[in-house]
Amino acid sequence: MSASATASLSREAVKRDSVPEIIAASMVGTAIEFYDNYCYSIAAASYFGTIFFTSVAKSNPALATLMAFVTFAVSFLARPFGSLLFGHFGDKMGRKKTLVIALMTMGISTFVVGLLPGYEQIGAWAVVILCLCRACQGVGLAGEWSGAALVATENAPANKRALFGSFPNLGAPIGFFCAYGINLLLTTTLSKDQMLAFGWRIPFLLSAVLVIIGLYVRERMSETPIFAKAAAEKRTSKHPLADLLPYWKEVLLGTVAMGITYTLFYILGTWSLSYGVAGLNFTQPQYLGMQMVSVFFFAAFIIVGCLAADKYGRKKTLIFFTAGTLIFSLVAPALLQHNPVTIMLFLCIGFVFMGGLFGPCGAYLPELFPTNVRYSGAGLSYNLAAIFGGAFAPSLATWLVETHGVMSVGWYMAVMAALALVALFLIKESKDKDYEL
Residue 432 in this model has a pLDDT that exceeds 60: no
Percent of the chain scoring above 70 in pLDDT: 91
Shortest CA distance to 34 belongs to which of 330, 261, 199? 261
User: What value does the mean pLDDT of the chain take?
Assistant: 85
- Whether residue 6 is contained in a domain is answered as no
Alpha carbon 193 to chain centroid, angstroms: 31
What pLDDT score was predicted for residue 435? 56
Q: What are the angstrom distances between the C-alpha of 179 and each of 89, 266, 434?
A: 30, 14, 38
- Whether residue 355 is contained in a domain is answered as yes
What pLDDT score was predicted for residue 212? 87
When pLDDT is averaged across residues 212-229 and rounded to a whole number, the result is 75
Local confidence band at 15 (pLDDT 50, 70, 90 cut-offs): low
Residue 41 in this model has a pLDDT that exceeds 60: yes
- Quote the pTM value: 0.81
What pLDDT score was predicted for residue 145? 76
What pLDDT score was predicted for residue 319? 97
What pLDDT score was predicted for residue 420? 97
Q: What are the angstrom distances between the C-alpha of 285 and each of 48, 193, 293?
A: 18, 15, 12
The more confidently predicted of residues 222 and 262 is 262
pLDDT in tens, 260-313: 999 998 899 889 988 999 899 999 899 989 998 999 999 999 999 999 999 999
- d(CA 55, CA 211) in angstroms, rounded, equals 35
pLDDT in tens, 158-206: 788 888 888 888 888 898 889 989 998 999 999 989 999 999 999 999 9
- d(CA 371, CA 369) in angstroms, rounded, equals 7
Neighbours of 28 (CB within 10 A): 26
- d(CA 408, CA 273) in angstroms, rounded, equals 17
What pLDDT score was predicted for residue 303? 95
Residue 8 in this model has a pLDDT that exceeds 50: no
Local confidence band at 3 (pLDDT 50, 70, 90 cut-offs): very low
Provide the number of structural domains found in the chain: 1
- Whether residue 300 is contained in a domain is answered as yes
- Whether residue 437 is contained in a domain is answered as no
Local confidence band at 434 (pLDDT 50, 70, 90 cut-offs): low
What pLDDT score was predicted for residue 13? 43
What pLDDT score was predicted for residue 259? 95
What pLDDT score was predicted for residue 80? 83
Contacts of residue 419, defined as CB under 8 A and 6 or more positions apart, other chains included, come to: 256, 259, 260
CATH of residue 62's domain is 1.20.1250.20
What pLDDT score was predicted for residue 299? 93
When pLDDT is averaged across residues 31-38 and rounded to a whole number, the result is 84
Local confidence band at 138 (pLDDT 50, 70, 90 cut-offs): confident
Q: What is the DSSP string of 308-339?
A: HHHHH-HHHHHHHHHHHHHHHHHHHHHH-SS-
When pLDDT is averaged across residues 248-269 and rounded to a whole number, the result is 93
- Whether residue 1 is contained in a domain is answered as no
- Whether residue 436 is contained in a domain is answered as no
Domain assignment of residue 402, given as a range: 17-427
- d(CA 25, CA 193) in angstroms, rounded, equals 39
- Whether residue 433 is contained in a domain is answered as no
What pLDDT score was predicted for residue 305? 95
Local confidence band at 2 (pLDDT 50, 70, 90 cut-offs): very low
Residue 132 in this model has a pLDDT that exceeds 80: yes
Classify residue 83 as exposed, middle or buried by CB count within 10 Å of its CB (0-12, 13-18, 19+).
buried
What pLDDT score was predicted for residue 437? 43
What pLDDT score was predicted for residue 408? 96
Q: What is the DSSP string of 158-201?
A: GGGHHHHHHHHHTHHHHHHHHHHHHHHHHHHHS-HHHIIIIITH
Residue 57 in this model has a pLDDT that exceeds 90: no
Query: Do residues 174 and 302 make contact, with C-beta atoms less than 8 angstroms apart?
Result: no
Query: Do residues 114 and 201 make contact, with C-beta atoms less than 8 angstroms apart?
Result: yes
Residue 9 in this model has a pLDDT that exceeds 50: no
pLDDT in tens, 400-418: 999 999 999 999 999 999 9
b/e string for 235-262 if b means 16 or more Cβ within 10 A? ebbeebbebbeebeebbbbbbbbbbbbb
Query: Do residues 30 and 145 make contact, with C-beta atoms less than 8 angstroms apart?
Result: yes
Local confidence band at 144 (pLDDT 50, 70, 90 cut-offs): confident
When pLDDT is averaged across residues 19-43 and rounded to a whole number, the result is 82
What pLDDT score was predicted for residue 17? 64
- d(CA 278, CA 260) in angstroms, rounded, equals 25
- Whether residue 123 is contained in a domain is answered as yes
Query: Do residues 66 and 399 make contact, with C-beta atoms less than 8 angstroms apart?
Result: yes
Q: What are the angstrom distances between the C-alpha of 72 and each of 69, 78, 120, 348, 349?
A: 5, 11, 20, 24, 25
